[in-house]
Structure 1
Amino acid sequence: MCDRMTEKSSSGVNSMPVVAFQGELGAYGDEAVRARFGPSAEPYPCKSFVDLFEAVASGTVDYGLAPVENSQAGSINDVYDLLRQYDLYVAGEVLHPVNHALLALPGQTLSDIRRVISHPQALAQCDRFLRDLGVEVMATYDTAGAAKMIREQGLTGVAAVAGLGAAQRYGLAVLAESIQTIKDNITRFVVLQRDPAPREEGPQKTMLFLALAHQPGSLYMALGALANRNINLLKLESRPSRNRPWEYVFYLDFEGHRDDPHVRAALADLAKHANYCKVLGSFRRETVPD
């Protein structure tokens, strides 16, 4: 792929950044790009999460926006694995509200629908509504991609779980709104870039992953480096190490910036108990939107 050239402001920050996300135009990732970078940003749709990471690593785009967890369906494991595989930095986060709707071709009604298609996470987030509807569910690679498929293939008897932006973009009828099981449904995206981010004002968060010795107490001693300095652990995630069966690596989110003296001391202490430790990034911590 060729490098993309974008205009830069006097501060050196791209005023029209190109931002990769997974999915089709109209997906929640597309919405999150505009929420974070503004209407002048150029969204760069990617078929898969691997394509997204490749686009950032290769310099094809300025930034990437990848979902790491949803408040209802939990962590997105593929993205956590890619955070370990690629030498990229996490430079920020976006907490984006998700409001699922059921979309179909104009003229279709709820009684016409026999099959519902969408991303697996979206289907999981609407499980109660879909069970009550009594339809077959089929996973696709993207919410907006499901809506696009229905429009391009003229699928009758089929509906998509996607956002209202996808309905508008692909000219579909909205059969039902707010169909997610838990109404306060939020997806957390992380901003990916090739260089560390400068520190911003506000509360800070640090993300890292570490590999520990497979022996009793190793995780306890590592987390003690945070607890002993009164550092609040926000999230702990484990993923298979891929080196040996039933051994794991751990992802940590905790309060504070890596340049804070007490966080620096905690990281030095934590590294003593880890076989490998890498800080993915320190950035401003976002609060849940109203």
Structure 2
Amino acid sequence: MTEKPAPKSHTKEFSDIQKLSLAEIRQGITEIDDQLIDLLAKRRDFSRSVAINKLGDFKPVRDQQREKELLDILIAKGAAKGLAPHYITRLFHTIIEDSVILQGQFLQNHSNPGLLDGGNKTVAVLGGKGAYSYLAAQKYFDGQQATYEAFDSFEGILNSVQSGENEFGVLPIENTTSGGITEVYDLLLHSELSIIGEVSQSINHCLLGQKTTTLETVKQVIAHPEARKQCHHWLGKQQGISVKLSSSTAEALRLAADDTSGTIAAIGGEQSADAFGLKVITRDITNLAENATRFLVVTKKPQIVSPQVACKTSVIISTGQKPGSLAEVLLVFRDARLPLTKLESRPIVGKPWEQMFYIDFEGNIDDPTVIQSLEDIRDICNFIKILGSYPAEQIKPTRVSPTEYYRGQD
């Protein structure tokens, strides 16, 4: 049997490491991991200092030329240590993204004192603990004190925020598999609340049930309507199983947890199973492997988005039935170089064949170009409503130099 060659290494200590026992090697890895955590925390402190420095000179959070130069240098240094370019790129894209988010949060808190810093936040979510809305809200308010109140309808969430019962509401707006959440679009049209944020939540549906429940014993699956849409391929292949709809994923999980017959299961996330004392019966039942839902965060008071932060604005327009009017609106965005990230149509109740259009675009409501563009659109449209400007969640990775990227692979 041919002996496997030792792993390639560029460190002088590698031959010494090979002499250690497995327990000693693992201890060494743990110590290095601890050092990495300390260094990442220290790097975050420097990122905060960068944000403070940028307050005075109004520099944008992102300097992609600086990021590109940094990545090129790091790829070259990594190659000299035997580290593949894709490994260095993925690692530092994540680190850079964290730095950009951290700086953006600091600048936003500075522009909106008291909005998202200090004090306990009350947040209305659909379904409560175990629901995807709850997980998305926890992600958005990470690091802050927050109390979450469960509601069984989107309208209930909006009403609670409008009445002041809760400060914030978190609502799903679109999914990569099932598309737009039409009920939320319709409710936003009549709401006086403002969008102040967005957050994406990865959705990996599983079939969950009691500890003794198996796929063979399941007779009924309980699911939120959106979850059913996102899993309809898998559900369509199951013989003898009916589907019952629930108001939220959390309600579906509660009903499965109350089952004593072993015949009821629910669709939900694996991370929610323990909270309800359930087990995973079947994993990965979503139609598409890459499945995510985008959520909006709403509140009563519009926020100011720092001009240093990448920003989106959401609006609703109605163009009537004038031929070419929507095309005219789109030309305004094109001529102003304001990229659209979403365009969705909804019928207007009581006006057959007329449509409302929900538009998300990259731009800040306080930017002169956006102000002028919206004025131009007002001249074209019968109706326009601004839902809010908010920091864009998605951070586009900086492109690295192909020369540096492939140099380490020769």
Q: Quick check: TM above 0.5?
A: yes
The structural deviation recorded for 1:122 is 0.5
| Residue in 2 that maps onto 1:150 | 256
| Residue in 1 that maps onto 2:174 | 69
Runs of 4+, deviation exceeding 3 Å: none
**What is the RMSD computed on CA atoms of the aligned residues?**
1.9
| Residue in 2 that maps onto 1:49 | 154
CA contact (8 A) 1:95 1:288 kept: no
The structural deviation recorded for 1:243 is 3.2
The structural deviation recorded for 1:84 is 0.6
Structure 1 residues 289, 144: CA separation in 2 closer, same or farther (over 3 Å shift)? Answer: farther
Give the Cα–Cα distance (whole angstroms) in 2 for the partners of residues 174 and 83 of structure 1.
36
Q: 1:25 aligns with which of 116, 120, 129?
A: 129
The structural deviation recorded for 1:181 is 1.5
Q: In the alignment, is residue 101 of structure 1 matched against residue 206 of structure 2?
A: yes
The structural deviation recorded for 1:24 is 3.2
| Residue in 1 that maps onto 2:183 | 78
The structural deviation recorded for 1:114 is 1.9
Give the Cα–Cα distance (whole angstroms) in 1 for the partners of residues 179 and 268 of structure 2.
18
Which runs of 5 or more structure 2 residues have no equivalent in the other structure?
A: 1-111, 398-410
Give the Cα–Cα distance (whole angstroms) in 1 for the partners of residues 344 and 191 of structure 2.
18
The structural deviation recorded for 1:198 is 2.1
| Residue in 2 that maps onto 1:173 | 279
CA contact (8 A) 2:214 2:262 kept: no
The structural deviation recorded for 1:37 is 0.5
CA-to-aligned-CA distance 1:177-199 (integer Å, 9 cap, x gap): 22211111110000100011121
Give the Cα–Cα distance (whole angstroms) in 2 for the partners of residues 261 and 159 of structure 1.
54
| Residue in 2 that maps onto 1:274 | 381
| Residue in 1 that maps onto 2:86 | none
Give the Cα–Cα distance (whole angstroms) in 2 for the partners of residues 280 and 23 of structure 1.
24
Give the Cα–Cα distance (whole angstroms) in 1 for the partners of residues 393 and 261 of structure 2.
40
CA-to-aligned-CA distance 1:80-126 (integer Å, 9 cap, x gap): 00101110100010011111111111111111112211001111111
Q: In the alignment, is residue 218 of structure 1 matched against residue 322 of structure 2?
A: no
Give the Cα–Cα distance (whole angstroms) in 2 for the partners of residues 251 and 274 of structure 1.
13
| Residue in 1 that maps onto 2:372 | 265
Q: Which has the larger share of strand?
A: 1
The structural deviation recorded for 1:276 is 1.2
Q: In the alignment, is residue 283 of structure 1 matched against residue 379 of structure 2?
A: no
Equivalent position amino acid for 2:174 in 1:
E
The structural deviation recorded for 1:156 is 2.4
Secondary structure of 2:337's match? Answer: coil
Give the Cα–Cα distance (whole angstroms) in 2 for the partners of residues 144 and 178 of structure 1.
19
Q: In the alignment, is residue 36 of structure 1 matched against residue 140 of structure 2?
A: yes
| Residue in 2 that maps onto 1:4 | none
Q: 2:347 aligns with which of 240, 243, 250?
A: 240
Q: In the alignment, is residue 194 of structure 1 matched against residue 295 of structure 2?
A: no
Secondary structure of 1:60's match? Answer: coil
Give the Cα–Cα distance (whole angstroms) in 2 for the partners of residues 138 and 147 of structure 1.
12
Secondary structure of 1:133's match? Answer: coil
Which runs of 5 or more structure 1 residues have no equivalent in the other structure?
A: 1-9
Q: 2:269 aligns with which of 144, 151, 163?
A: 163
Structure 1 vs Structure 2: percent identity of aligned residues?
Answer: 35
Give the Cα–Cα distance (whole angstroms) in 1 for the partners of residues 396 and 245 of structure 2.
29
Structure 1 residues 186, 267: CA separation in 2 closer, same or farther (over 3 Å shift)? Answer: same
Secondary structure of 2:216's match? Answer: helix
Greater mean alpha carbon deviation, residues 149-158 or residues 245-254 = 149-158
Give the Cα–Cα distance (whole angstroms) in 1 for the partners of residues 335 and 320 of structure 2.
21
CA contact (8 A) 2:210 2:259 kept: no
Equivalent position amino acid for 1:232 in 2:
P
The structural deviation recorded for 1:262 is 1.5
CA-to-aligned-CA distance 1:252-280 (integer Å, 9 cap, x gap): 01111111221111111111001111111
CA contact (8 A) 1:103 1:176 kept: yes
Greater mean alpha carbon deviation, residues 34-43 or residues 127-136 = 127-136
The structural deviation recorded for 1:154 is 3.0
Equivalent position amino acid for 2:364 in 1:
H
Give the Cα–Cα distance (whole angstroms) in 2 for the partners of residues 242 and 75 of structure 1.
18
Indicate the structure (1 or 2) with the bigger Cα radius of gyration. 2
Equivalent position amino acid for 2:257 in 1:
R
The structural deviation recorded for 1:202 is 2.8
Q: In the alignment, is residue 60 of structure 1 matched against residue 165 of structure 2?
A: yes
Aligned residues, how many?
281
Instruction: State the TM-score, normalizing by the size of structure 2.
Output: 0.66
